[in-house]
A and B are shown apart, each in its own frame.
Chain A
Amino acid sequence: MADAKLTIGFLPLVDACLPILAHEHGFAADEGVALTFVRDVSWATVLDRLLYGHTDGAHMIAPLAIATTLGLGRPAQPLAAPFVLGLNGNAITLSKPLAAQVATPGDYGDPAAVGAQLREAAAAARAQGRRLRFGVVHRFSSHNYKLRYWLSACGIRPDHDVEIVTIAPPFVPDALASGEIDGSCVGEPWSSVCVERDVGTIVLATAQIWRRGVEKVLAVREPVLAEKAEAFAALIRAMRRAGRHFIDPANFAENARILASAPYLDADPALVLRAISDRLVLAHDAAPVHLPDLMFQHSEAANFPWMSQAAWLFSQMVRWGHTAFDSADAARAMRVFRPDVYRAALINTGDDLPNASSKVEGSVTQLTQVGAQQGTLTLSANRFFDGLTFDPDQIEAYLAALP
């Protein structure tokens, strides 16, 4: 065990923080696993390197892990996600003129109110023969699904009233500046880069759309997870420690400096600091606004891979025609998330472990103590902004009731 080694692929985004900090602070070494990192610039390449063994594990958009397992777009390869790298952390950024039209620049808007205004702006654009265009990082991304969820709940039909295109995060600022897109849903630090360059205004965070929405996962090929079970258990424990360190305000500046350094994000540490302290500057030269749920990387067992979260992502894949509903596929999608592996890694550490592996998403409206196998677990509100709830056993009924 002492010489266990894992290679981790990642894209330079703030939410790649936990494995990086587990390495940099020596938590991984303490657990007996040595980490090395491979940085890439597209999810396609992060995935290829994972599938062809250049990496053992990868920072990955959760829906892509599910799509790969289901064989959407390429032959199926079973992936496992034993650890959620974080919840939310993305922002919706609009071009400055559009933001001024639909929101109050400098503050987070109310999702329903901004949506209502945006609906009018989209209709006005269509009357002039064009459709507003939004950029997301990947079709199989929570960015795409949360943006679509918000738009349609506000009466804006994606692909009909507005266009949604794929655009790589580093090109979002240029695309907003040139008018190629009118808005985007992208991970940090890219929305902050837009604000800093004064080419866009942040109007919402995805945390306002679904307060506890799943974001990146640690993705591993199933056979590799079985073969290197102990090394991954060590990594999971090290990342839980990294999370405790990450959310402590005393460490914000140091962690921002590490993440922003050349081997990792190669970005401006001041912008990284905004994200990890949950204090984004939403419009150029405005004061930072504190949104405690912006990034949610540790508390309330945030890293626990709830199978119901995988089910919600699968429901959205069906909703937007990325796959057809099939109950066997739904079950396969849910099994990508591996609470069993998470539990096995953390049993006897005293860390919080929920009793259940699945829950009705969006149903917690106030602080609620839930059954814990170990530790004590109190969940705060995890609502969708429209108040709907998602029961993973009722996917078809849920889809039928959506707009």
Chain B
Amino acid sequence: MRIAIVDESTMRASIIEEGLGQLENAEIFTLTQRHGLLAAIERIAPDVVVIDLGNPSRDVLEEYFAVSRALSRPIAMFVDESDDASIAASIDAGVSAYVVDGLASHRIKPLLDLCIKRFHAFARLQSDLADAQGKLAERDHIDRAKRILMRSRGITEPEAYAELRRKAMSSNKRIAEIAEAVVTAHDLLEGD
């Protein structure tokens, strides 16, 4: 079975590719470039195409499939009603799939389930990443605020941190918020 993964996010594409690698007898092709997409699909002649819902090339791809129906290997949109629940789950996860006519449904379901799992894994990874980035930004603000206080008041680093914490507790805010306010005020006053 030849599977094409169409995804402009190279990170997500590789996560899906890794997941689908568990399937037996599957050959995986990853397409992350919009340019030349149809030519690549034509060359690969996939049995299954997996594409994310946010991909702007979906209408172009569906047009190609509509035209391909007249060819020897017609590709149908994967909306076999017998599997409606797993399709609904895939749409919820943010992925749609197209399969060649005649591919047995018992071969499609495990594939789709894997895709769904991988899409969810990617979404989790992204929110973890966003969290981590948020924490990094907070860390950075606290460090900068400490340095500002140390310089302007001639105090040590632990004293500067204690000062931030005291202010946070008295104003019922998080240390990161106080630090951000210090940094913003400093930037405004010092103009840097």
Binding site for B on A (CB under 8 A): 40-45, 48-49, 52-54, 73-75, 137-139, 165-168, 170-171
- The answer to whether A75 and B79 have CB atoms under 8 Å apart is yes
Known: A48-B91, A52-B87, A52-B91. A171 touches B56 (CB 8 A): yes
How extensive is the interface on chain B, given as a class? Answer: 20 to 34
In the complex, are the beta carbons of B56 and A41 less than 8 A apart? yes
Which 9 A/B pairs are nearest by Cβ-Cβ distance? A166-B63, A42-B58, A44-B58, A52-B91, A41-B56, A45-B53, A74-B77, A74-B79, A168-B56
**B18 within 8 A of partner (CB):** no
With both beta carbons as reference points, the residue of chain B lying nearest to A322 in the complex is identified as B66
Also in contact, A42 and B91, with CB within 8 A (given A73-B77, A75-B81): no
* Residues in B neighbouring A52, C-beta threshold 8 A: 87-88, 91-92
Contact indicator B62/A44 (Cβ below 8 Å)? yes
The SS class assigned to the A binding surface is loop
Given contacts A48-B96, A73-B66, contact A40 B53 (CB under 8 A): yes
Contact across chains for A54 and B91 when beta carbons are under 8 A apart:
yes
Residues of A within 8 A of B56 (CB): 41-42, 168, 170-171
Q: Do A139 and B66 touch (CB < 8 A)?
A: yes
Contact partners of B54 in chain A: CB under 8 A: 40-41, 45
- Please name the residue on chain A nearest to B59 by beta carbon: A42
Offer 18 A-B interface pairs, CB within 8 angstroms, sorted by A. A40-B53, A41-B55, A42-B59, A44-B59, A45-B96, A48-B91, A48-B96, A52-B92, A54-B91, A74-B76, A74-B77, A75-B79, A137-B59, A138-B59, A139-B63, A139-B66, A166-B63, A170-B56
**What residues of chain B lie closer than 8 Å to A168, measured between beta carbons?**
56-57, 59-60
Q: Once bound together, how far apart are the Cα atoms of A40 and B59, in whole Å?
A: 12
**Docked CA distance A329–B76 (Å):** 21
Find chain B residues with CB under 8 A from A40 CB: 53-54
Chain A's closest residue to B80 (CB) is A75
What separation, in Å, do the CA atoms of A171 and B35 have in the docked complex? 11
Binary contact track B46-86/A, C-beta < 8 Å → 1, others 0: 00000001111111111101100000000011011100000
CB closest residue in chain A, given B69 = A73
B interface, over-half SS: helix
B58: A residues at CB distance < 8 A: 42-45
For A141, the closest partner residue in chain B by CB is B59
Q: How far is the CA of A52 from the CA of B87 in the complex (A)?
A: 9
Check A44/B91 contact, CB under 8 A, given A75-B81, A139-B63. no
Identify the interface centre among B61, B63, B76, B87: most chain A CB within 10 Å of its CB.
B63
Interface residues of B (CB under 8 A from A): 34, 53-63, 65-66, 76-77, 79-81, 87-88, 91-92, 96
Q: Give 8 new A-B contacts, CB below 8 A, not counting A52-B91, A167-B60.
A: A42-B56, A43-B59, A44-B61, A45-B54, A45-B96, A49-B91, A52-B92, A168-B59
State the CA gap A150–B92 with chains docked (Å). 40
Q: How far is the CA of A137 from the CA of B56 in the complex (A)?
A: 11
By a CB distance below 8 angstroms, the chain B residues around A48 are 53, 91, 96
Whole-angstrom distance from the CB of B125 to the nearest CB of chain A? 22
Question: B92: which A residues are within 8 A, CB to CB?
Answer: 52, 54
Alpha-carbon separation in the docked complex, A41 to B65 (Å): 19
Point out which of A40, A42, A53 has the most chain B C-beta atoms below 10 A from its C-beta. A42
How close is A52's CB to chain B, nearest CB, in angstroms? 4
> Using Cβ atoms and an 8 Å threshold, which residues of chain A touch B91?
48-49, 52, 54
Cβ contact within 8 Å between A42 and B63: no
Chain B residues in 8 Å Cβ range of A166: 59-60, 62-63
Interface residue from A42, A74, A165, A167 paired with B55 (Cβ < 8 Å): A42
CA distance A343 to B26 in the complex (A): 55
In the complex, the chain A residue whose C-beta lies closest to that of B89 is A52
Q: Which of B58, B65, B77, B92 has the most CB of A within 10 A?
A: B58
Alpha-carbon distance between A52 and B91 when the two chains are bound, in angstroms = 7
Give the one of B59, B60, B62 with max A CB within 10 A: B59
Closest to B64 in A: A166
Q: Smallest Cβ distance from B21 to chain A, in angstroms?
A: 26
Q: Separation in Å of the B183 CB from the closest CB of chain A?
A: 26
- B64 CB to closest chain A CB (Å) equals 8
Chain A's closest residue to B65 (CB) is A73
- In the assembled complex, the Cα of A178 lies from the Cα of B191 at a distance in Å of 44
| Chain A residues with CB under 8 A of B63 | 138-139, 165-166
Chain B residues in 8 Å Cβ range of A53: 88
CB-nearest residue of chain B to A64: B59
CA distance A49 to B93 in the complex (A): 11
Q: List chain B residues, Cβ under 8 A from A171.
A: 34, 56
| Residue on A nearest B88 in the bound complex, by CB | A52
Closest chain B residue to A166 by CB distance? B63
Closest-CB distance, A183 to chain B (whole angstroms)? 17
Bound: A52/B54 CA distance, A: 16
Report which residue of B62, B80, B88, B92 has the largest number of chain A beta carbons within 10 angstroms of its beta carbon.
B62
B119 to chain A, nearest CB (A): 14
* Chain A residues with CB below 8 A from B76, complex form: 74
Chain A residues positioned under 8 Å from B80 (CB to CB) = 75
- With both chains docked as a complex, state the minimum distance between the C-beta of A382 and any C-beta of chain B, in angstroms: 29
A42: chain B residues within 8 A (beta carbon): 55-59
CA distance A165 to B55 in the complex (A): 18
Specify which chain B residues have a CB less than 8 angstroms from the CB of A44 in the assembled complex.
58-59, 61-62, 96
B130 to chain A minimum Cβ distance, whole angstroms, is 19
